[in-house]
Structure 1
Amino acid sequence: MRDYPGCDKCGSKEVDGYDLLVNNKLVCRDCLIKKTGGRSSGALSWTEQQKWHQKHWGINISEWLDAYDCLPVNANCATKWLKDKQHLSNCACLELEAKELHELFTNSLREKEEKIKKCRCKASNKPRTPYYDYDNYGYTYCEKCEKRIKGAGKHGTIKNRNNPAFWGLNIPQKVLCGECLANYLKNMPTRKKYLFNEYVKRGYWK
């Protein structure tokens, strides 16, 4: 498909699966609809099904349904059925095909085993924003002074600067405004004290 130049007539790269299956070539959907008088290949018509089964399985499905009230499992089953009319009484084709498909799927999983990994996602410990404005931006309130605090956009979490744990504080409160956090400045690690003062200079707490 990467090197497929497109439909010979219009250059479109939209592929019609039914035409590819029957004629072993790639054709765009628009040209196929024109060719078939507006019929889409999304669902096969009865005529198309008859042609397909006649060509690939060698059976007339109308006559087959009238005679047996069912269809073969696959082309191999149809071949056996044509040779032996009693095949239906001991047909194991469906079970065999199910086993083959299961084996194919199992082998495919084994081949892709390296890509199938357990989820390593870590749950975020960030406090969530319980409220949202009309633009769907999250917000919450300071747990000390009840000042409104904007969240981290539409992510549903508070900003790091409003999380006491971000500042190395081990306190019950999970969300505090800048003024209330300033009361804990002496309890912060030296590195966090410097960063907090930088935030004050930059006006992050306004």
Structure 2
Amino acid sequence: MRIPIAVSARHAHLSSNTLQKLFGEGYELRVHKWLSQTGQFSAEETVSLIGPDGRLDHVRLMGPPRERDQVELSRTDEHVLGLAAPLRVSGDLVQTPGLQVLGPAGCVTLAGGVITARRHIHMSPADATQLGLHDRQSVSVRIDSNGRDLTFGDVIVRVSPDFRLELHLDTDEANAAGVANGDFGEIELTPSGTGELRN
């Protein structure tokens, strides 16, 4: 099966509490664009991220707000900021570094929550059944990009009724393979076909 690709640039998922500190009491995110995953959107609002060695401006926020703050960066972004974030599945924030987040109404120092997201495929239970896959399984995805063909290993399968079929790559990964939003890849199982996510 061909898998549609979505390129995920640096972004932040913030809690309601953090949003109030950055934008003001009672502030609610405005929808910039609805995403393919059910109920998720990129917001009109952006923030600045400040690390030990540098700063990134105009970093897009994602909605709706989450219970815990999470900032997702590429390896290139980390070099700019002077951080060494672990490679993690979304939501796994134990022992992750923090940074400063600057908004129009204030600045918040996050004690943790900064990660580089592991490349992954969102899919519904019906997609998983059709492909013979299960949640947290590891697969490879082959990309034919007309001159920059590349096979990504260690791609984690994430299964939920709310998910729609989509491979998420960060900007470094997409640039390496010469792909953009709307391109496609093809799933290949790991040699044993039974690879599992390991933290």
TM class by shorter chain equals under 0.3
Structure with higher Rg: it is 1
Hey, which of these two has a bigger chunk of strand by percent?
Answer: 2
TM-score by length of 2: 0.19
Higher relative contact order (CA 8 A, sep 6+): 2
TM-score by length of 1: 0.18
